[in-house]
Structure 1
């Protein structure tokens, strides 16, 4: 029974993976969704006290999941969304994995696309350099632009209440400056040792599809299969809004073939 580790993204609590856990458990996997270092048990409790998240960057988050992987009996599948998708690529560089999936992944070093929508989604963090060492929360309107832009206002607001929480600003600064630094926490080995799937959402503002396609192209010399699936009509909330099962199903189909 293969283990699947789900890695959530910035501003979203690990509980957002609950439907995926049930879906993959029924499909015969052993799924778990550990939070980032500093996450509390619920989105609400983390909103009340996000101090444990402050200052954590990509290296800290990846090391946290690598420790979990080291404690397993066999290599797992890792599935990550947004910043979690960048973390998955870091884990793929350093850990023994069965397969890896990056859904709308935050751009790693080498991705050149920088759409206006992506800049606008990152602005709540990048507008103040001091945010690199503290946590930042999105407003309801910022969440709707970055995550729920294809949803009704009611559904976007419902998801905000259920899953949104402050996140550390450091990963956004690390991603934004990756191509300006010789050594960057957002650098990964793009010669994948394991099957890797990228999933792009057509109307994603936070990680536009062109950005995900750019990440996929970095792996063109990879010895392992690296595939790309594009999902029409969806936004950054695609893994936890009402259409989540379509994304989970596409990933499950790929995993059977990987």
Structure 2
């Protein structure tokens, strides 16, 4: 049984956002890796002040290929846990035959799944900005407090924004919604077990989308499950009570994980398809 976990962050955050989960899992004896997306490997304040000029070119394929390369450096196949866009990337990596189990928390819009109304509203500042597909985008503090972390008390918004929020590539949004880059084979016979976790108060990735993804993913023969926390938002991995989410994710993954020698390579997927 694996003792390795990979945590995959989403847009507007980098690996620092996993500091709570990482320490929590390491205290349980696991080896935890939390790779940054390309050009995201600095402190959030530095990234906000001086984003890397190549960040604007980062898209879904480049990120997922980077994550796959990081997985292949590990001595054993890990449990994959991703949040938001990281939840989408987790599913793509599982579809490639990687990981022994996956957990997608508040998964962002996924190719082939209808957008929820909250996702449409929240994506508009990026998709409604001309040329955003080739620009580095920034999240405002107002948007962060009202939609991204809408359950945070107003007096804590600035603290958490300063600690965690980073610029992101608009291309990630366009890839995720309007292209087939992130297309997933829903009935993939070699996909590892998958748990989907959503939030009833999520204004970025509607719980209805999480349920819709589950309805598609359950076509695969491997174990698939969904859990909706009705009182939690998109900020669920940092909001008070995040430990409950972390423990559910790990406990489910450990109970359903396949053996390390059952993981496959992209070539196996081509043969199976």
TM bucket normalised to smaller: over 0.9
Distance 1:191 1:27 in 2: 34
The answer for unaligned runs of 5 or more in structure 2 is 257-273
Instruction: Measure how far apart 1:54 and its partner are.
Output: 1.3
* Contact in 2 for aligned 1:147/1:236 (Cα 8 Å): yes
Q: Which runs of 4+ in 1 moved over 3 A?
A: none
TM-score, structure 1 length as denominator? Answer: 0.93
Matches of 1:155 and 1:88 in 2, distance apart? 30
Superposed, 1:115-194 pairs within 5 Å as 115-178=116-179, 184-192=180-188, 193-194=191-192
Equivalent residue runs for 1:181-220 within 5 Å: 184-192=180-188, 193-220=191-218
Distance 1:89 1:129, change over 3 A: farther
Partner of 1:77 in structure 2? 79
Q: Is the Cα–Cα contact under 8 Å of residues 107 and 212 in structure 1 kept in the other structure?
A: no
Task: Say how many residue pairs are matched.
Answer: 252
Question: Distance in 1 between the 2:117 and 2:186 partners?
Answer: 26
Q: If the length of structure 2 is used for normalisation, what is the TM-score?
A: 0.88
Q: 1:217 to 1:153 in 2, by over 3 A?
A: same
Unaligned stretches of 5+ residues in structure 1: 179-183
Counterparts of 1:37 and 1:56 in 2: how far apart (Å)?
7
CA RMSD of aligned residues (A): 1.4
> Residues 201 and 232 of structure 2 are in contact (CA less than 8 Å); yes or no, is this contact kept in structure 1?
yes
Structure 2: distance between partners of 1:127 and 1:240: 28
Q: What residue is the counterpart of 1:181 in the other structure? A: none
Question: Which residue of the partner structure matches residue 106 of structure 2?
Answer: 104
